[in-house]
Homo-oligomer: A and B are copies of this chain.
Amino acid sequence: MLIPYFLYNRVFVPENEETMKKTVNVGLIGFGTVGTGVVKLFNHNGSLIDKKAGLNVRLKKIVDLDIKRDRGVNIDKYMLSAKAEDILNDPEIDIVIELMGGYKPAIDFISVALKNKKHVVTANKKMVSKYWEAIWPLAKKNSVEFMLEASVAGGIPVIKGLREGLSGNRIQKIMGILNGTCNYILTNMTLNKMTFADALAGAQAKGFAEADPTMDIEGFDTMHKAVILSSMAFGQRVKEEDVHVEGIKGIDYQDIKAGDEEFGYVMKLLAIAEHSKNGINVRVHPAFVSKAHLLASVNYEFNAVHMTGDAVGDVMFYGRGAGELPTASAVIADVIDIAKIIADGAGGKRYENISSDGAALVKMGEIESKYYMRFNVMDKAGVLAEIAGILGKHEISIKSVIQKERASHKEVPVVIMSYEAKEANVMKALKKIDALSEVKQKTVYYRVVE
């Protein structure tokens, strides 16, 4: 008796790994720097990726408006298309990687991909930060995964570490250096005694900073990442408008020098997210970090995330937060994770437990910190007593006072370091102090992390 081929196969070929091995098809939207890195990794580490995933992971299609430019990577021309539909509507494609950036049309493409039951991997922190509520329910509804390791801290597997590695912990605090451009500028100011303007120009020349560096140096890029990290860490949505943001624009070298030489502090742009008994506070601002703290040793374009869990205590993750291959490393890790989930026949179960409400938000005025304050005052008797009096009335205790220059009846800087004080009290005191006739410029202040 003749056995039909499909039955023959079914009956006589053992269902070992080889015959059961499935192919997962990937579509890439956005063929820029990181997209090129992703293609390089598929080309160079393809067999490793298949081995780790336990099935064949194939890059099937690449979509970009510019399909002519030579990116220096080896690809077949038929893979390229200028139409996102060629990925979004291809029933063979299981995973869509979105690397175009920006709000539109990225969010539209991602929504269609999820609705078409495709898993999505993105590095688009700006989009996720804003469209959080639109994305997760869509992923869940369609039983697919939405993965974003590359959106925070580039190649550092911090989202995985937070969500999975520390999953038994209540996360109490996160402090992150999340923007390579800012850290590169601040490190050059600190170690190489540069002014802000020179350090920024240097970062632009090196390609770390954009021609328009606003998103970076005003702290918005760090804020997008803080929104994502804190929402995941605390299991509840933190919105952009909930985050207090200060950038590093115009930081004066004299403060960096004073912090370094007088107090052993280095300046870092930090994202800080705290979950205390009072609630949640998320903020982005430059801060003086004690050199004894490991974050102080994170220099130049490197990123780091320092987390405190109720069981694990302090943990830090360090590495490259941007760049072609480091960011592609995070994208590929997500693709491999999804491929494993596909192999398991599961999906869409990973992120469903983030609620839109929970702990209260702690207003910025309620936080407590030590403060570095540089007053610019006329050098004459009684001024310091007046400032100290105002600080005292606002429950701000002075730890040390340093006046390096003497210039009778001229303007000199006086630096005061405080003990822990309430932000609102400090703001009120500084407003009163800045109104004094002997105070010649607005007081410069930075929060201190020890």
CB distance from A81 to the nearest CB of B (A): 24
A440 adjacent to chain B (CB < 8 Å)? no
CB distance from A293 to the nearest CB of B (A): 9
Cβ contact within 8 Å between A326 and B349: no
Closest chain B residue to A163, Cβ basis: B52
A45 adjacent to chain B (CB < 8 Å)? yes
CB distance from A450 to the nearest CB of B (A): 15
Residues of chain B within 8 A (CB-CB) of A166 are 157, 329, 333
A336 adjacent to chain B (CB < 8 Å)? yes
Cβ contact within 8 Å between B319 and A318: no
Cβ contact within 8 Å between A344 and B343: no
Given B315, B318, B328, B345, which contacts A346 in the complex, CB threshold below 8 Å? B345
Scan residues 295-330 of chain A and give those whose CB is less than 8 A from a CB of chain B: 297-298, 309-320, 323, 325-326, 328-330
Residues of chain B within 8 A (CB-CB) of A45 are 168-170, 310-311
Residues of chain B within 8 A (CB-CB) of A335 are 168
Given B169, B298, B333, B344, which contacts A344 in the complex, CB threshold below 8 Å? B344
Total interface residues in chain A, CB < 8 Å: 60
Cβ contact within 8 Å between B297 and A311: no
CB distance from A161 to the nearest CB of B (A): 5
Cβ contact within 8 Å between B343 and A345: no
Cβ contact within 8 Å between A48 and B168: yes
Closest chain B residue to A340, Cβ basis: B349
CB distance from A336 to the nearest CB of B (A): 5
Known: A161-B161, A170-B48. A311 touches B340 (CB 8 A): no
Closest chain B residue to A159, Cβ basis: B165
Cβ contact within 8 Å between A311 and B37: yes
A167 adjacent to chain B (CB < 8 Å)? yes
Given B155, B170, B309, B316, which contacts A312 in the complex, CB threshold below 8 Å? B155
A83 adjacent to chain B (CB < 8 Å)? no
Residues of chain B within 8 A (CB-CB) of A343 are 346, 349
Give Cα distance in the complex from A313 to B340, angstroms. Answer: 25
A19 adjacent to chain B (CB < 8 Å)? no
Given B44, B155, B313, which contacts A320 in the complex, CB threshold below 8 Å? B313
A235 adjacent to chain B (CB < 8 Å)? yes
Cβ contact within 8 Å between B168 and A332: yes
Scan residues 320-374 of chain A and give those whose CB is less than 8 A from a CB of chain B: 320, 323, 325-326, 328-333, 335-337, 340-341, 343-346, 349-350, 352-353
Cβ contact within 8 Å between B326 and A165: no
Known: A157-B165, A341-B344, A353-B52. A311 touches B326 (CB 8 A): yes
Question: Using an 8 Å CB-CB cutoff, how does the interface string of A96-134 with B read, 1 for contact, 0 for none?
Answer: 000000000000000000000000000000000000000
Closest chain B residue to A53, Cβ basis: B167
Give Cα distance in the complex from A349 to B339, angstroms. Answer: 12
Question: Using an 8 Å CB-CB cutoff, how does the interface string of A144-172 with B read, 1 for contact, 0 for none?
Answer: 00000100000111001100111111100
Give Cα distance in the complex from A325 to B166, angstroms. Answer: 12
CB distance from A295 to the nearest CB of B (A): 10
A294 adjacent to chain B (CB < 8 Å)? yes
Closest chain B residue to A40, Cβ basis: B311
Residues of chain B within 8 A (CB-CB) of A390 are none
Nearest 8 A-B pairs (CB), nearest first? Answer: A157-B165, A168-B332, A344-B346, A155-B312, A315-B319, A311-B329, A312-B329, A316-B318
A contact set with B: CB distance below 8 Å = 37, 41, 44-45, 48-49, 51-52, 54, 149, 155-157, 160-161, 164-170, 235, 294, 297-298, 309-320, 323, 325-326, 328-333, 335-337, 340-341, 343-346, 349-350, 352-353
Given A155-B311, A157-B161, A165-B333, 17 additional A-B pairs, CB 8 A: A37-B311, A44-B310, A45-B169, A45-B311, A54-B353, A157-B315, A164-B337, A165-B330, A166-B333, A294-B298, A311-B326, A311-B329, A312-B325, A312-B326, A313-B323, A313-B325, A344-B344
